[in-house]
Amino acid sequence: MFNKGDVYTIKEVAKMLKVNIRTVYRWINSGDLRVAKFGRKTYRVFEVDLKKFVKKYM
């Protein structure tokens, strides 16, 4: 599922975790999932942060 050092879009994260994109945004807004924000609307999730999230919440 993960490759070392990858960076994922919100859509890719939703697909990997088999959830709706809105669910991923809820996790981001609640602070549960860390993201890097580029500009106003562009988010990226680093592999290391996604692994921490999965380990803690899934």
According to the 3-state scheme, what is the secondary structure of the chain?
A: CCCCCCEECHHHHHHHHCCCHHHHHHHHHHCCCCCEEECCCEEEEEHHHHHHHHHHHC
What is residue 3's predicted lDDT score, i.e. its pLDDT? Answer: 67
Please give the model's pTM, rounded to 2 decimal places. Answer: 0.87
Residues of the chain with pLDDT under 50: none
**Domain residues of the chain, as ranges?**
7-57
